[in-house]
Amino acid sequence: MAEILLKSNEDRLLKGRHPWVFNNQVKSIPNGLKAGDIVNVLNSKRKLMGKGFFSPHSAIMVRMLSFEDAEINENFFYTRLLSSIKRRHNLIEKTNALRLVYSEADELPTLVVDKYDDFIVIQTLGAGTDIRKGLFVDILCQILKPRGVYERNDVPVRAFEGLPSNKCLLRGSAPGLLTIKENDLRFFVDIENGQKTGFYLDQRDNRDTLKGFSHNAEVLDCFCYTGGFSMYALHYGASHVTGIDASQESIMLARKNALLNNFANRNFELKMANAFDELKLFDSTGKKFDIVILDPPSFIRKKENLESASRGYKEINLRAIKILKPGGILITCCCSYHISLEIFKNILISCASDAKRSVRILDIKNHPQDHPLLLQLKESYYLKCFLLQAI
């Protein structure tokens, strides 16, 4: 087995079970090692720290698979995949669309597997999982017997590993529009062309927070995509929902989703527009809502852009607070990992202060059960959702 030797004192993170080895911690790499190979990681005293996937092109040179002297073979991956799927059995009652494997937190770094009814979507975001894609697909087909498997590797993070962007059908026939069921609602999902792997599965629980507040409410759903939050608001009794999104395809699918769930057109208005402009307009015309939802895309890709991204979050949240009726609810999300919970909270504090409104925190939510986080891997914390009430 190939051995990667760490510099002295560079085993600290691994000892604390942080699952990454950065290239600047490594003293020597054997000749002939290929991207994706399994390597033994040794500390400077040649003690085995564990085993992982080797990625020569990434700053994260090794992603740990085991902190033991485990044998990493097909059976190892079968067992890991099966336990990851089994861990989510309690969710199957609620939904037939969920994340089955989520990278490090499921001890399968860089592997993402989503289930949409009887279709599987796979992402192999690192060298180690990419060269084993065929094996993972075989195992998933054996365990789940899906109607098809689709690859959505058209994501920028693959470039850090020197991997190309790609999407294609791997097994079965082209899925077309799939229908999923989440809680009591149904949604059309386009796994080939939709955002992420087709649907924002990570927002399932946050959408359901609308349960307690929507009855007779007038709701504004900004960055609505295919109407995830809007459908929940209508389902829980909202009197009117306005959904805004910049993408024509999303708006079209949101309209279809309303029909699919038998919601009357008169209660649901959709607008293809820039949410920044619409919020400004509502603010200037004095229009007020019972509930405002802000679920924007990440405004920040690089740490250096923190300031401009913060300005973006500040602007939409300030306007949202201003257009809430007394006692109105703001559900505001941030999916940028560079904006920590603390930074986001500080932005919200300054919005409330500038709006001259007292605001209660009713809840702070983050990842659902099928998108678990590894406690030690703070680099993976990305989703934050505040449930606020303006007084």
Residues noted as catalytic: 335
Helix/strand/coil for 103: helix
Residue closer to ligand SAH, measured from CB, 81 or 253: 253
Helix (H, G, I), strand (E, B) or coil at 333: strand
d(CA 136, CA 106): 14
The values of phi and psi at residue 169, to 5°, are -80, 130
Question: Nearest distance from residue 99's CB to ligand SAH, in Å?
Answer: 14
Tell me how far apart the alpha carbons of residues 229 and 224 are, in angstroms, rounded to a whole number: 7
Q: Which is nearer to ligand SAH, 109 or 228 (CB)?
A: 228
Contact 352, 332 (CB under 8 A): no
**Local structure of residue 299 (DSSP, 8 states):** S
The minimum distance between CB 39 and ligand SAH, in angstroms, equals: 38
Minimum CB–partner distance for residue 225 and ligand SAH (Å): 3
What is the Cα gyration radius of the chain?
Answer: 23
Count the neighbouring beta carbons within 10 Å of the beta carbon of residue 261: 16
**Of 148 and 228, CB closest to ligand SAH:** 228
Spatial CA neighbour of 384 closest among 206, 143, 145, 230: 206
Task: Please state the closest distance from residue 367 (CB atom) to ligand SAH, in A.
Answer: 14
Q: Return the DSSP state at 324.
A: E
Nearer to ligand SAH, 212 or 297 (CB): 297
Per-residue tokens: 250: 């999303």
For 284-299, b/e burial (b = at least 16 CB within 10 A) is: eeeebbbbbbbbbeeb
Could you list the residues that contact ligand SAH (CB under 6 A)? 195, 200, 203, 207, 223-226, 228-229, 244-247, 250, 274-276, 295-297
What is the rounded distance in angstroms from the CA atom of residue 339 to the CA atom of residue 177?
A: 34
Q: Which residue, 276 or 337, has its beta carbon nearer to ligand SAH?
A: 276
CB of 288 to ligand SAH, least distance (A): 20
